[in-house]
Amino acid sequence: MLQSTLTLALASCNGFPTLRDVGSLTSVILLLLALLYKVLYVPVASPPREDAPPRLPLPSWKVTQLFFEKRFDFIKDGFKATSSSIYQTTLFQHNAIVLSGDEGRQLFFKEKALCLYDTFSIMMGSGAAKFDPHQVGGVVRRMASIQRPDNLQKLIPLILSECQLKMNAWGRESILDPCSSLHEVAFQLVMRIASFDIANDPVLSARLKSLVDTVDSITNPYSTWLPWLPGPALFHKFFASVQIYRIVQAAINARKKSGIKRDDMLQQMIDEGDGTIQIFGCMLGLSLAGARATGTIVTWLIMQITSNPVWSSNVQEEVKTFISTHTSSTSLSGDVLIQALSEIPLTSWESQTPNLDLCIRETLRTSQPYTAVRKNIGPDVTIGSYVIPSGSLVVYPFSDTALNPKYYSDPTRWDPSRGTKKETPFIGWGAGKHACKGQRLATLSMKLVVVYALMRFDITMVDGQGKKINHLPPPDWNDSATCRLKERCGIKFVEK
């Protein structure tokens, strides 16, 4: 009914000069007024509960806009404006409680009633599908299976081969956009894990990445003001999802028809009798969560290591010693390097690179502008003197821990030695009930990409004119998607 009304209204607007029916014009005006009312109207708040946190004095439409466009600044300014470590606001037309501090962090990561999956459709806006908890459980089981030691050992040469293939395209010397080149590598690694056949088809893989980027694009804030009104962004996401589904479906049919078995996630799911919908959901989830997060951290990890003389030297020496311990080859280049790295046991990759481990940990802290949002699907929850009502959204910014001078002196400075202080709170991989399910695979992938890149290239950061820069620009924590640098620069790769 709504779609028909909008179609008629738009048709009337397009033919405005020839309108003869005053009723049609009146209908258009009333529709537009209804839309404006829905967007701009702020209902009179009911009397606040005595146990409610202080409310941020901003209309809901402004809160939603700032949450999408300047999330880090908005949340930080909210604590200042309310003079409280906990405050409430209206987000996505839902009551939202924003937490901070030790008690807030511990409650957020330990409370069982705070659910991720019920939040998805709210944040994605109009028409977003709701999660099926059983399908989500299936994805978690698949991730556990992929991360078994025997499977990870098999993945090592495959991941390294993909690194070699993607980096061959850079040539002997290139200046690349740091926020795209390594993201492409990360996506290809995910595809190699998910489907051998898709990864082996460069054209199909590139098309799939474009479609995944469309699905992963930031939702327009206006779609959450009008959740019942599908907008252009939603249609783009929907049609991209349909095309991804068809690609996955074709991959399933081709695999079954060929009778060839591969060591990939697709084969595991086919062998265990999963349907097309389950396989599609798992592969899309791995692409969305794995490729973007891994791409962002790998990018910053390489930039930080190569921009810091002390840690660059530490990691380079560690990598050389690490490799020499497991191979007798003196000339490591091309396929010889891939072969040498592939023969190193998984246990060694996971336990014999302590400096690289510290660098990964510190990069997760300084370059991951994540704000976690959950919905309280249980009864009211008490925190201090306040109550989080049932049905409310609960928001926790990772910056409250990661950039808190209480825990980290000069918190924006990248200093991997901080990781030696085990008593300092760290939530780079999440925590408690909300810990990252793919941590082991992600860590291994990061190590393989970084070690291969450092062994193959001399890497420096350069400005817009191609001149070396000595100080890396800081990350933009308002860019919640890719955490871009605040200043334009490039990353220069020169083959050794």
CA atoms of 348 and 439, how far apart (whole Å): 17
CA atoms of 352 and 64, how far apart (whole Å): 46
Output Rg (C-alpha) for the chain, integer angstroms: 25
DSSP state of 70: S
Alpha-carbon torsion angle 18, 23, 28, 32, nearest 10: 150
Per-position b or e across 356-395, b if 16+ CB within 10 A of its CB: bbbbbbbbbbbbbbbbbbbbbeeeebebeebbbeeebbbb
CA atoms of 386 and 404, how far apart (whole Å): 23
Only one residue has tokens 């459980």, namely 137
Bridge partners of 386, per DSSP, are 383
Q: Are 216 and 55 in contact (CB under 8 A)?
A: no
CA distances from 182 to 110, 192, 262, 297, 465 (A): 34, 15, 26, 10, 21
Of 169, 179, 240, the C-alpha closest to 202 is: 169
Say which amino acid occupies 121. Answer: S
Q: Find all residues with CB under 8 Å of 496, minimum gap 6, and list them.
A: 333, 455, 456, 457, 458
Q: Are 373 and 383 in contact (CB under 8 A)?
A: no
- For strand 393-397 and strand 94-98, is the pairing parallel, antiparallel, or unpaired? parallel
Q: Are 348 and 319 in contact (CB under 8 A)?
A: no
Q: Is 483 annotated as a binding residue?
A: no
Q: H or E element: which one contains 88? A: strand 87-91
Terminal Cα distance for the chain, rounded: 65
CA atoms of 140 and 479, how far apart (whole Å): 28
Secondary structure (3-state) at 187:
helix
Q: Please enumerate, by residue number, every residue annotated as part of a binding site for heme.
A: 436
Q: Please enumerate, by residue number, every residue annotated as part of a binding site.
A: 436
